[in-house]
Amino acid sequence: MNRFVIAEPLRCIGCNTCLAACAQTHKEQGLQQHPRLAMTRTGDQTAPILCRQCEDAPCKRVCPVNAISQGTDAIELNESLCIGCKLCGLVCPFGAITPFGSHPLDLPDQFQYHVSAAELADVPVSSPTMEPFLAWNAGVRSIAVKCDLCAFSPSGPACIQVCPTDALHLVDEKLIAQQLLQRRLEASSELASDLLALAIPPQEHL
C-alpha cells in the first residue's frame, strides 16, 4: 500500500503554513521550491490537496520518459528526467501535480542552455498570474512537482510537522488498521446496546 497525506477540512484554518514549509524544505534540498500542496477553498472551509499516491497512478502510466515510478510505498517523480510535457498533471484526478518553471536537480550537461540577459530583453514572457499549465518563459524549463512525502527527511512530511491545528495526517497501513479496529469496536458497542434495549423492556410507570 502507498502512503499519502490527507487533510481534515474541519480542522484546517487556511493559514498556508504547510505550503510555506513545503516550499522551503524542498528548496533546501535543491529541488523545485514550488509547494507540493494546493490550498482549496469552498465556502467557509479550506483544505490543502496533495498527491494521493494512487496505486494505479495515471501520471505514471502517461509519462513518456518514465520520470514517474512506483517506489517502496509512494509514487516517485524524478525531476532530472522530467521533460515538462505536463501530461501527468493533465491526467491527475486530484489536480495534485503542478508544472513549475525552474531548473531540475542534476540536469545532464547536454540539456544545459543558458540565455543571457541581452537575449531575454526582447523575448516576451508569460504573466505571473497565468495558469501554470499554459505559462512559459524562455530559458526556463518547466518541471512537474508532486508530493514526495519529504522522503529525504527522517522526520517525515514537513507539512504535517508545522500544521498548527493538526489538520494533516499521514495515512499508512498502521493508521488504517487502527481506524478499522476503532470503527468495529464502536459498531459492536452500538449493536450490544440495541440488543440490550430489545431484551429488557422499559419498566411501566406506577
Q: What is the C-alpha separation between 187 and 180, in angstroms, rounded?
A: 10
pTM of the model: 0.73
pLDDT band at 184 (very low <50, low <70, confident <90, very high): confident
Instruction: Say which amino acid occupies 49.
Output: I
Q: What is the DSSP letter of 115?
A: -
| Domains: count for the chain | 1
Q: What is the pLDDT of residues 68-100, one digit of tens each?
A: 999 989 999 998 899 999 999 999 999 999 998
Question: Is 195 within a domain?
Answer: no
Backbone angles phi, psi at 59, to 5 degrees: -60, -40
Average pLDDT over residues 119-145: 77
Q: What is the C-alpha separation between 83 and 170, in angstroms, rounded?
A: 30
Contact (Cβ atoms closer than 8 angstroms) between residue 21 and residue 162: yes
Q: What is the DSSP letter of 205?
A: P
Question: Is 68 within a domain?
Answer: yes
Q: All 3 cell numbers of residue 165? A: 491545528
Q: What is the pLDDT of residues 33-50, one digit of tens each?
A: 899 999 999 888 999 999
Q: What is the C-alpha separation between 206 and 44, in angstroms, rounded?
A: 53
- Give the per-residue pLDDT at 131: 83
Question: Is 205 within a domain?
Answer: no
Question: Is 197 within a domain?
Answer: no
Question: Is 178 within a domain?
Answer: no
Question: Is 164 within a domain?
Answer: yes
Question: Is 12 within a domain?
Answer: yes
Q: All 3 cell numbers of residue 135? A: 505559462
Question: Is 185 within a domain?
Answer: no
Containing 144, the helix (H) or strand (E) segment is: strand 141-145
All residues at 6 or more sequence positions from 106 whose CB lies less than 8 Å from its CB, including other chains: 80
Instruction: Say which amino acid occupies 73.
Output: D
Range of the domain at 85: 4-106+126-172
